[in-house]
Structure 1
Amino acid sequence: MSSNDSTLVTSKDPSVMDTNILTRLITSDSSSSSFSDKTKNASTSPAVNVTAAVATTVNNDPALSQFVRRRFQNIILIWLDSNIDETKEYFKNALRRLRRVVASVTIFTDSQECLNFISEIKQEKIFMIVSGSLGQYIVPAINAWPQLDSIYIFCREPALHKQWSKMILKVKGIYDSIRQICEALQIDRETCDRSMIPITFCGIDPSFIYVQLLKEALLQIEDDDTKSLKEFIEYCRLRDDISKREINKIERKYQSHTPTSWYISSYFMYSMLNRSVQLMDVEVIGKMNFFFRHLYKEIELLHREQQQQQQQLSTKTPPARFRVFRGQGLSLENFEKMKKTEGGLLSVNNFLSASRNSKTSFHNYAYPATRHPDLVGILFVITIDPKICATSSIHFADVKPVGQNEVGEEILFSTHTIFRIDRIKRIHDEHTDRLWQVNLTPIGDGNHDMNTLTLRLRQELTWKMGWSRVSEILMRMGEPLKAEHLCKIELDKASSSQERADCNNQLGKLYAETGKYSRALSSYKQALQISMEILPTNHFHLADAYSAIGMIYFQMGEHSKALSSLKRSIDIQNRALITDDIKLVDSYDNIGMVYFQMGNYSKALSSFQRSLEIQKIGLPPNHLVLASSYTRIGNVYAKMNEHSEALSSFKKVLEIQKIGLPSKHPDFAETYKNIGAMYKNMGMLSKAVRSQERALQIKSKILSSNHQGLIVS
């Protein structure tokens, strides 16, 4: 490097560009032309104001819009260099080598455009190749950006940039060849992917149970595999961050190899599936569900076969417990959750690979993660008891890559395996305090505390099938936009009138729950119109449709239209000879609520009482649903100033609650409050005071308990 180049490196002027970034590209097939042929004149390179560039965010820049698109990998590799010439052979060789590691490489010659692009990225991790003299100004300014994961300084003389770069943890090294960068990228890419595998913690993450139900729903969807594979290939060909060579290989040879082989050998299949589950990307999940299902079933089959082989080899003594290992980075947020859940459960919401080799897991994956400022290095030590696994839903298998005949050291656990966190302990190291060992034990679905609740939620969803069930689960997980997107995808694909009606019904329910009542009304009406063309006039689906439309009108304040639709629902049910079915309960309750809001309390009372009569036929006398009905009836009597009748209803509520609820349940407070109000209206002040005091005691205990819970946590 010339003396002039040295001046550029030490200059404090951030507008100075490095004219020698591509001094030497060492590739296996690079040409021997001189460096002067490989660079552009520095005067043609745009200057960059780092402060302005960092502060600028582009929202509607046409130049940027080409980059903002759906991505299928966790990593975006960008290469910033003002002297890149994409027509030169040496650059094409370098790009080919990089794309063997990361399929999509985004090139920038303009620094401000590059920084604007980085600022737009929210979910992916950025890996950045940048020159030394340009990097020394840009990197410190953007180092704290969370989306920026790894930085590779590319220059001819690494010694010139050691001083400033060693202070920045995200700088992985200083390199003078693309080959070296590719080797580092390979390791860092896998470290990044491992750290982003989705994990939920029981008792902390509300979605813990729902992700298990989501897995079940996806596995129950049976599609035409040949058609699904073809659609998947066509879908992938439209993307530019997937290797065309990989796509062609899967198209030709998918049936010739096992799903587990593809998962551990094809980076884009592995990354695309993991990322879609991590982000709940319903479009990609839909395209890959055939592979998700194939992979799950193969692990299940391999597990049974390998377990039988072990039993045959050890006929005298049962197979001994053994340990496998997984090294990875864990975000600081997830690590804090894990510490709070020690002794409890976690769910790995994807297929999880582990190794029989503890040293490889530690040195290749756990320890390197500590160099990342946002990660904790974790060595998972997983103890497997074959005896327990043989009688439970725990599935894992030894797997091998495509083209390898012998099974290697890798173990693949089936998706959404639940583990108990047995112990968390620090691994002492003089260079870092962010290195931990976490002992896990896999447990079966039927062996943990959440089984009862999971069973109840599963039963609530049995009336929905296929993608409608997936959409419903997404709604319950608080993902309405993804549920809506899935419904629209399925509506576009619907091939029958019944499917179109079901999709519109699901959209209507989704819009109703998110307060988009005009859209809900439109979807429900479309579903009703389709259903009327294909169903008999007394079919219960039509009754459900009118009931749904009636409740939308109710929410919109159009009470007369609400009553009209709800009464049509009841008429259809009566014509279908459904006179005491539990379905009528909702209809009468809904009509009662409309009359109540209209101030027509006598008709509201009549509807609520009819609902109660039906419930008494089909439910035990102390069922908590009856308590809700008595509460509604009590409220109507209170509005009608019939305080003794209201008091009688509220006392019945209390009797049912004493049998069906724990003594500190908050519903007791509301019931005692209602009873106290009636005593007050009847002039029985001493009884009113006692009831109100009881309500306050229960509320204070609840508040105290919640406060203590906050202190403990």
Structure 2
Amino acid sequence: MASATTEEHVGVRHVDENILSSVNLKQDDNFDEYIVLIVGINDNQHLFENLPMMISRDRIQSFDDIARSVEFIHSQSNINIFLIISGTLGQKHALEFICETQVIGLYIYCMDETEHTTWAKEVEKIRCIVSNPTKLIIQLHRDIKKLSGRWPFDEKSFEKASTDTSQWYHLFLLVICYRSESIKLSYQNMFKECREYYQNNYSILKQIDEFAQTYKPTNAIYEYTRDTFLYRIVNHALRTQNMKLITVFSPFIRDLHSQIYDYHRIYYRSNNQFIRSVYRGQNLSPEQLNHLISIWKSNTSIITLTTFGSTTVDPDVALDFVPLEDGLTACLFEIIITDSYNDYMKMMTRHVQVFANIASLSAFPREQEVLFSLVTHFRIQHIAYRENRSDRPWVLITLELVTGALNGRRFSDYDIIDQIEKVEDPQIYTAIIDMLVKNTEDEVKFNNTNWSIWWNNLSRRWATAIGNQQPLNLIFYDCFTNNKYWSRKAIDMHKTLLRSIPALESNRSSFSNLLHESRRPPRPIRTTTGERRSIPEDRVEEVLESALVTYLL
């Protein structure tokens, strides 16, 4: 790969001091993982002096060599990269950089804008072509700020609902949102995480201390809608899909979901479901819009929201959030809530996906906000995209709220939630979270695993296991037929359950007696936590052969 030669920017190119004072992101850090990467720029250090006045110095990386720049990009995972490159190098290497998924914006910083405009028009992800550093800083500030929006649109905010890997993450979110009331989790780890991140920001540390002293779960919606560190942190955690980080913030996530759920239930118990459509205004990059169009044109156009989604009943309010910007497409999301959907929800005693009009609870009631909770499903009905938008400068994207994604299995999200809410043993709940998290720690291994086998096993065993009151974590462990670690944990749990049967324990030295005892009708047993369980009749001999023979004999 070619080496870079730095492009000289002759003359004094200072950034307007008034602009610098207004774009400081360090005092209002949006908690997103991003890096500003500078490649092949030599402007007598003016850019390097000005950028740290907007963002922390540790978020800035600089290279003169293209190969080292690419190597650095490859070393980063789950990091958004804003790449500033000289005009000469951009013309030669822009196509290499835009292929990197971590690079979400390319900024051409040159001496002659006209010279580089022609070739740059054909390159996606280029956010601006500028010779003026003030304009560069302003554009960069806008793009970084967008990461902290309440409903950012990217591949991790919306997912195709039908993939086995996305279903694993959705299962994790359901476990977080529907944790039993009897299992209490501490908020201290969440406060600790916030304080560590903002350790040098005394104004936000003060906010965190006040929040820790005054927060009540019944105020979750109000706290989320305030313009503070909280919604930025929660959105950041959900967008990264880092399960360890999400688990830290899970006490608040559950509080927010539960409050939305309560108001959603009240709404559907009334006789007036007056919300027929809600709106969301947002600027989309060409990549984001194309991603949405590709899902719309696919066989399965159902998408699942994996963050909290802010909308409004007033389209004019929604459009106020989408100022026209070069390189972005202004979009108005219209979400339709049909009569058939309302009728279905009114019949249900339990709701899986929920939303609520939170205007009376919001810190900004004039926004007339309707807030959607996690794992909400939408069908993309239409995208009215036109190249010529002279009469209407925005694109209308119509979504329909649907009851869920069909998975062809013998259980539904309702069944999963019902069992999650019945888990009252903190050890079992923690074990389930641990199982979900551990399987995603190795991203390559996770993506290469055939998860359809696990889901099919769960589908086959669900009714029998639930009917025999097996612990939920054991049901999940039993589905790992090709994973020695989780199969071993399943065997160990079965051994513990079997040993609690006196007749089996007293005959452990005799395999023939064990088999004789195992052929008796299943009997209720007690786990180490005192819960009554029974051994599935069609599984006892299999379990004895796989567990007791290898361990007891």
Please indicate the TM-score interval, normalised by the length of the shorter structure: 0.5 to 0.7
Pairwise mapping of residues 663-702 of structure 1 onto structure 2 (< 5 A)?
none
* Contact map agreement 1:420 1:441 (CA 8 A) in 2: yes
Pairwise mapping of residues 584-603 of structure 1 onto structure 2 (< 5 A)?
584-590=537-543
For 1:144 and 1:417, how far apart are their aligned partners in 2?
31
For 1:541 and 1:198, how far apart are their aligned partners in 2?
52
* Contact map agreement 2:225 2:231 (CA 8 A) in 1: yes
How far residue 261 of structure 1 moved from its aligned partner, in angstroms, is 4.5
| Structure 2 residue 8 is the aligned partner of structure 1 residue 18 | yes
For 1:274 and 1:223, how far apart are their aligned partners in 2?
24
| Structure 2 residue 392 is the aligned partner of structure 1 residue 439 | no
For 1:468 and 1:460, how far apart are their aligned partners in 2?
12
For 1:220 and 1:541, how far apart are their aligned partners in 2?
36
Larger Rg: 1
Shift in CA distance, 457/253, structure 1 to aligned 2, threshold 3 Å? closer
Aligned residue for 2:59? 105
For 1:452 and 1:13, how far apart are their aligned partners in 2?
56
* Contact map agreement 1:508 1:522 (CA 8 A) in 2: no
Letter of the structure 2 residue corresponding to residue 78 of structure 1: L
Aligned residue for 1:34? none
Shift in CA distance, 542/477, structure 1 to aligned 2, threshold 3 Å? farther
For 1:239 and 1:256, how far apart are their aligned partners in 2?
20
Pairwise mapping of residues 258-337 of structure 1 onto structure 2 (< 5 A)?
258-265=219-226, 269-301=230-262, 319=274, 321-327=276-282, 329=284, 330=288, 332=290, 335-337=293-295
| Structure 2 residue 85 is the aligned partner of structure 1 residue 126 | no
Q: Secondary structure at the match of 2:61?
A: strand
Aligned residue among 290, 310, 321 for 1:353: 310
Aligned residue for 1:636? none
* Contact map agreement 1:280 1:482 (CA 8 A) in 2: no
For 2:407 and 2:95, how far apart are their aligned partners in 1?
48
Aligned residue for 2:193? 235
Shift in CA distance, 222/260, structure 1 to aligned 2, threshold 3 Å? same
Which runs of 5 or more structure 2 residues have no equivalent in the other structure? 22-29, 447-469, 527-532, 549-553
- Deviation string 1:227-284 (CA, Å, 9 cap, x unpaired) is 7333212223444899664354233235369433443455764454345445542211
Q: Secondary structure at the match of 1:194?
A: coil
* Contact map agreement 1:74 1:193 (CA 8 A) in 2: no
For 2:144 and 2:525, how far apart are their aligned partners in 1?
68
Pairwise mapping of residues 413-432 of structure 1 onto structure 2 (< 5 A)?
413-421=372-380, 423-430=381-388
* Contact map agreement 1:426 1:437 (CA 8 A) in 2: yes
Which runs of 5 or more structure 1 residues have no equivalent in the other structure? 1-11, 32-70, 312-316, 486-501, 551-560, 596-713
Q: Which one has the bigger strand percentage? A: 2
How far residue 294 of structure 1 moved from its aligned partner, in angstroms, is 1.8
Q: Secondary structure at the match of 1:325?
A: strand
Letter of the structure 2 residue corresponding to residue 419 of structure 1: F
For 1:571 and 1:259, how far apart are their aligned partners in 2?
53
For 2:156 and 2:125, how far apart are their aligned partners in 1?
21
* Contact map agreement 2:9 2:43 (CA 8 A) in 1: no
Q: Which one has the bigger helix percentage? A: 1
How far residue 122 of structure 1 moved from its aligned partner, in angstroms, is 3.9
Pairwise mapping of residues 545-584 of structure 1 onto structure 2 (< 5 A)?
570=518, 583-584=536-537
* Contact map agreement 2:31 2:233 (CA 8 A) in 1: yes
Aligned residue for 1:145? 100
- Name the structure, 1 or 2, with higher relative contact order (CA <8 Å, separation 6+): 2
Letter of the structure 2 residue corresponding to residue 439 of structure 1: T
- Deviation string 1:502-546 (CA, Å, 9 cap, x unpaired) is 99x8799489644336x8658966x799x7xxx9x9625997x99
**TM-score, scaled to structure 2:** 0.65
For 1:442 and 1:213, how far apart are their aligned partners in 2?
20
Letter of the structure 2 residue corresponding to residue 325 of structure 1: R
For 1:449 and 1:521, how far apart are their aligned partners in 2?
29
* Contact map agreement 2:32 2:147 (CA 8 A) in 1: no
Q: Secondary structure at the match of 1:228?
A: coil
How far residue 587 of structure 1 moved from its aligned partner, in angstroms, is 1.8
Q: Secondary structure at the match of 2:153?
A: helix
Provide the identity percentage. Answer: 14
Aligned residue for 1:28? 18
For 2:15 and 2:510, how far apart are their aligned partners in 1?
73
| Structure 2 residue 358 is the aligned partner of structure 1 residue 398 | yes
Aligned residue for 2:208? 250
* Contact map agreement 1:210 1:473 (CA 8 A) in 2: no
How far residue 352 of structure 1 moved from its aligned partner, in angstroms, is 1.0
| Structure 2 residue 516 is the aligned partner of structure 1 residue 516 | no
How far residue 287 of structure 1 moved from its aligned partner, in angstroms, is 0.5
Letter of the structure 2 residue corresponding to residue 516 of structure 1: K
* Contact map agreement 1:130 1:152 (CA 8 A) in 2: yes
Shift in CA distance, 514/132, structure 1 to aligned 2, threshold 3 Å? same
Letter of the structure 2 residue corresponding to residue 324 of structure 1: Y
| Structure 2 residue 172 is the aligned partner of structure 1 residue 219 | no
What do you get for the CA RMSD once the two structures are aligned? 5.9
* Contact map agreement 1:76 1:105 (CA 8 A) in 2: yes
For 1:287 and 1:565, how far apart are their aligned partners in 2?
49
* Contact map agreement 1:563 1:594 (CA 8 A) in 2: no
Shift in CA distance, 264/164, structure 1 to aligned 2, threshold 3 Å? farther
For 2:310 and 2:229, how far apart are their aligned partners in 1?
16
Shift in CA distance, 119/351, structure 1 to aligned 2, threshold 3 Å? same
Aligned residue for 1:553? none
Shift in CA distance, 185/156, structure 1 to aligned 2, threshold 3 Å? farther
How far residue 219 of structure 1 moved from its aligned partner, in angstroms, is 2.6
* Contact map agreement 1:76 1:127 (CA 8 A) in 2: yes
How far residue 419 of structure 1 moved from its aligned partner, in angstroms, is 3.2
How far residue 564 of structure 1 moved from its aligned partner, in angstroms, is 9.2
Q: Secondary structure at the match of 2:100?
A: coil
**TM-score, scaled to structure 1:** 0.52
* Contact map agreement 1:78 1:126 (CA 8 A) in 2: yes
Aligned residue for 2:36? 77
Letter of the structure 2 residue corresponding to residue 354 of structure 1: T
How far residue 24 of structure 1 moved from its aligned partner, in angstroms, is 1.2
Aligned residue for 1:184? 142
For 2:544 and 2:36, how far apart are their aligned partners in 1?
59
Shift in CA distance, 276/563, structure 1 to aligned 2, threshold 3 Å? farther
Aligned residue for 2:25? none
For 1:349 and 1:565, how far apart are their aligned partners in 2?
52
For 2:183 and 2:87, how far apart are their aligned partners in 1?
50
Aligned residue for 1:407? 366
How far residue 150 of structure 1 moved from its aligned partner, in angstroms, is 0.7
Comparing 296-305 and 360-369, the one that deviates more:
360-369
Letter of the structure 1 residue corresponding to residue 8 of structure 2: D
Aligned residue for 1:339? 297
Shift in CA distance, 120/186, structure 1 to aligned 2, threshold 3 Å? closer
For 1:366 and 1:76, how far apart are their aligned partners in 2?
25
How far residue 77 of structure 1 moved from its aligned partner, in angstroms, is 3.1
Pairwise mapping of residues 366-377 of structure 1 onto structure 2 (< 5 A)?
371=327
* Contact map agreement 2:180 2:421 (CA 8 A) in 1: no
For 2:487 and 2:501, how far apart are their aligned partners in 1?
20
- Deviation string 1:460-482 (CA, Å, 9 cap, x unpaired) is 76775557458658969994647
Q: Secondary structure at the match of 1:583?
A: coil
Q: Secondary structure at the match of 1:28?
A: helix
Letter of the structure 1 residue corresponding to residue 97 of structure 2: I
* Contact map agreement 1:425 1:438 (CA 8 A) in 2: yes
Q: Secondary structure at the match of 1:252?
A: helix
